[in-house]
Chain A
Amino acid sequence: MSDNSSDEELAPDWIPYRQRSDWADVTPIEQDDGENPVVVISYSEKFKDVYDYFRAILASSEKSTRALELTRDALRLNAANYTVWQYRRDILKALGCNLQQELQYIDDVISDNPKNYQVWHHRRVIVEWLNDPSDELRLTESVLSMDSKNYHAWQHRQWAIKTFNLYDNELEYVDRLISEDVRNNSAWNQRFFVLKHFGFTPEVIQREIQYAVNRIRLIKNNESVWNFLGGILHDGGASISQHEEVLAFCEELYNNNVRSPYLIAFLIDLCQEKCLREENAESREALGRRVAELCDGMIREHDVIRKKYWQYVVDSFQLKLNRLKANNDGERNDGTS
C-alpha cells in the first residue's frame, strides 16, 4: 500500500478547472457518497476539482481533446483509477488519436508508477491496438534496470514475447541479468520460460545442467539456481537421480564441506529417489541410512528453522520404505508358497 498520489505532480501554475474559461460550458458534478460514508478520503481541492469535471464529461459522454487532457490530470492524482483509464481509451478510440504518442505518455506514467497494475494494463491494450511490440523489450528492460524483480515488468515482457514471438534474443538478456545478480530468481524463471519454448532436447538439458553447475560453484547457497537445476532435470523428463554427473557434483560439494541447506535438500531428494528404485536390499538400506543422516544434519545444524519439516521428511520416507519392503516381502512369500 503506497501513497504515491500527490498534488505536487500537477504543475505549479496549474489552474483549477472551475476557473478555466475554456471549461466554462461544463457544470461540474459532485461525488455522491450518500449519508454517513466510511473510509472517507479528505480529498484535496485539486482532487475534488478534477474529479468533479471528470464526472461531468463522463455524464455528457464528451470525447474531446480537452477531455483527454482532463483524464491525464485525473490519473496523475490517482493512477489506480481503472474507470478513468477505460474512459481515456474510449476517448482515444473515438478521436482516432496518435497511439504512438500515447505510448510515449505511458512510458512516463510507468516510470512514475512502475508497480501499478492499471498502467501496465493500459500499455498492453495500446500495444494490442497498434499491433506493434517494437518498444516493449526496451521499456521493460529499462524498468527492470531499476528493479530487476519488478513482477509487472516481467509479466508485460512475457506477454509481449509470447504474443509477438520475440524469443530470439531473450536468452542473452537473461544471461546478462544472471551474471549481474546470480540470485535474481525472476531471471532464472525467465530462463526456464524461454528454454521451455524452444524445447528441452538432450543437448539443451546437458548445456543447462552445466550452466547451473557453474553458477552454483560461484555461490553455493543460492536457492534460485538449485530450483532451476531441479526443474531442468524434472521437465527434461528424466528423474533427478538419472543424471549421475549431477549426483557426482553434489557429492563433490558435500565432500568439500559445503553445507548449504539447498545442496543437502537436493541430495536428500536424489538419495530418496535412488533408494526407492534400488533393487539390491543392501544398497537400499545404505541409501536409506544416508537420507536419515542428511535429514538429521539439517535438523541439528544446517537448517534448524525447518527442523520439524526435515523430521517430517525423514518420517514420511521411512514409512514409504517400510511399505515398499512389506510389498516386496509379500511378493517373495507369494512366490514361495
Chain B
Amino acid sequence: MSNVNAICRRKHAKFFMRFLDLLPSRLASHDSTRVTIAFFAVCGLDILNSLDTIQPATVETIIDWLYRYQVVSKEGEVECSGFQGSSTINTSVPNENITKYKWGHLAMTYTAIATLVTLGDDLKRLNRKAIIKGVAAVQRDDGSFSASVEGNEYDMRFVYCAAAICAMLNDWGTVNKEKMAEYILKSIRYDYGVSQHFEMEAHGGTTFCAIAALQLSGQLDKLSPETIEGMKRWLIFRQIDGFQGRPNKPVDTCYSFWIGASLKILNAFHLTDYEENRSYILSTQNTTVGGFSKWPDSMTDPFHTYFGLCGLSFVNEPGILEIMPSLNISMRAYKKLKELQGHWAPQEPEECSNCSIIDIE
C-alpha cells in the first residue's frame, strides 16, 4: 500500500499529543474552548488505539485539570452547574464578582465528561445531580437548550449536548424530553434534513444532533417511517466522494462523521460507498506532520483530524476503534461508561443503544 493510501497512525497520535501540550499564540481564539480541544485529542488518541501514548501521570493531570473547570451552583443561587471551557476567568484568590460569571456551558460539559470517561476516570468527583440541574435550567420553553444560563445562543447543537450529558449520566432530572422532541420534529425541513433552528436550512451537523438526541432519549420512534426514509435519502445524497454538509456545498472531511453517524443510527450506513468515502478522507491527511483537514492540501486541525478518523472507523479501517455513533466516543469508552452507570443505578437503567428500534427493511 502506498503512503497516501495508508493511514499514518503514529503521526496522527503525535499530532494530538502536541495539541494536548501547548498551542501557539495564534490559536488564542480558542482560549474559551480548550476543553473541546482536549476532547478531540484524547478521544482521537483513543480511537487510534493509542491512548497509552499519554503517560499514566499525565492522564491524572488531565483529569485533575478538567475537574478544576467544574462549576457547582450553591443552593438558592442561580443554577449554572456544568463545566467551563477554560480558565480564562479563574483567579488564585476567589472573587465573588467573578464567580457570578462562571457558568457551565453545555458543549464544554458534554466534552469534559466524554473526555473523563475516555481517560478511564471513575466520575466520582462529578457532581451528577448538580450537572443535570444545570442542563434542565437552560432548557427553553420551545424545548431547545441554551449553551449557558446567560449570554449564549440556543439551538440544535445544545439540544444534542443536553441529551448526551443526560444519557451519559443516565439521569434526565427535570429535563422535558417530550418538549425536546417537539423542537426537533419542528426543525425537520421539506427536504428531510434537520436545521439548526426551526425553518433554517437543513444541515449535516444539526441533522446528526437531532437524530442522535432522539436516540439518546429513546424517542426515535417519534419519527414516522416516511420521515425516516426521507432522512435516509437526504443523508445518502450528501455523498459526493466524501460527504458534504448541505446540497451544493463542497465536500468536507468532518461530514464523514456527521452524516455517517446519522446513517449509522438509522441503520443505513451500509448503503454508502465505503471506498469513495475512505479515499476522500485519506486525501485530506497530512502525511508529513499528521492531522487531517477539511479539504486536500489545507490546514489541519484537531477537529477535522478527530472526525476524519471517526469517518474511517465507520468504514472499518483496520487499527481504528469502533465508535458509538450517538455519543461520539469509542465503543470501548462507552462500555466503561455502562459499567459506571451500573454502579450508580437507583434509576431504571435506560438502554442507550436502541439502534435496532428502527430497523426498517
Contacts and interface: CB of A to CB of B under 8 A. Distances in A.
B356 interface: no
A176 interface: no
Contact of A34 (B34, B68, B239): B68
Given A1-B302, A39-B23, A87 B248 contact: no
A227 B191 contact: yes
Contacts of A78: 28-29, 31-32
A306 B65 contact: no
B247 A193 contact: no
A contacts with B: majority SS: helix
A158 B201 CA distance: 11
B153 A117 contact: yes
B331 interface: no
A1 B19 contact: no
Nearest to A40: B22
B21 A38 contact: yes
Interface in B145-163: 147-148, 150-153
Contact of A39 (B37, B98, B248, B276): B37
B41 A230 contact: no
Interface in A160-199: 183-186, 189-190, 192-193, 196
A319 B225 CA distance: 15
Interface string A1-33: 111111100000000000000000000011111
Given A86-B151, A227-B191, A306 B236 contact: yes
B361 interface: yes
A89 B28 CA distance: 22
Contacts of B32: 78, 80-83
A223 B101 contact: no
A32 B199 contact: no
A149 interface: yes
Task: Indicate the member of A1, A79, A118 with the most B CB atoms within 10 Å.
Answer: A1
B142 to A, nearest CB: 12
B3 interface: no
Contact of A36 (B41, B64, B89, B197): B64
A77 interface: yes
Contacts, number: 216
B202 interface: yes
Interface string A225-254: 001101110110000000000000000000
B88 A51 contact: yes
A22 B316 CA distance: 62
Interface stretch (A57-65, A96-104, A276-284): A57-65
B222 interface: no
Size class of A's contact patch? 35 or more
Contacts of A315: 361
B332 to A, nearest CB: 22
Given A30-B92, A39-B19, A3 B27 contact: yes
B2 interface: no
A336 interface: no
Contacts of B87: 31-34, 37
Interface string A37-74: 11111111001000100010011110000000000000
Contact of B30 (A41, A58, A224): A41
Contacts of A117: 153
B201 A189 contact: yes
A58 B89 contact: yes
A175 B21 CA distance: 50
A230 B97 contact: no
A155 B199 CA distance: 9
A238 B273 CA distance: 34
Interface of B: 19-35, 37-38, 41, 58, 61-62, 64-65, 68, 87-92, 95, 97-98, 101, 105, 147-148, 150-153, 189-191, 195-197, 199-203, 232-233, 236-237, 239-241, 246-249, 268, 270-273, 276, 301-304, 360-361
Shortest 8 CB-CB distances between A and B: which pairs?
A231-B190, A86-B151, A5-B29, A227-B191, A189-B201, A1-B301, A309-B271, A183-B248
7 contacts: A29-B91, A31-B87, A32-B87, A80-B33, A151-B200, A184-B248, A192-B189
Interface of A: 1-7, 29-44, 47, 51, 55, 58-61, 77-83, 85-87, 89, 117-118, 120-121, 149, 151, 154-155, 158, 183-186, 189-190, 192-193, 196, 222-224, 227-228, 230-232, 234-235, 265, 305-309, 312, 315-316, 319
Given A155-B197, A235-B190, A306-B271, 7 more contacts: A5-B27, A39-B38, A149-B249, A158-B199, A192-B189, A193-B199, A309-B271
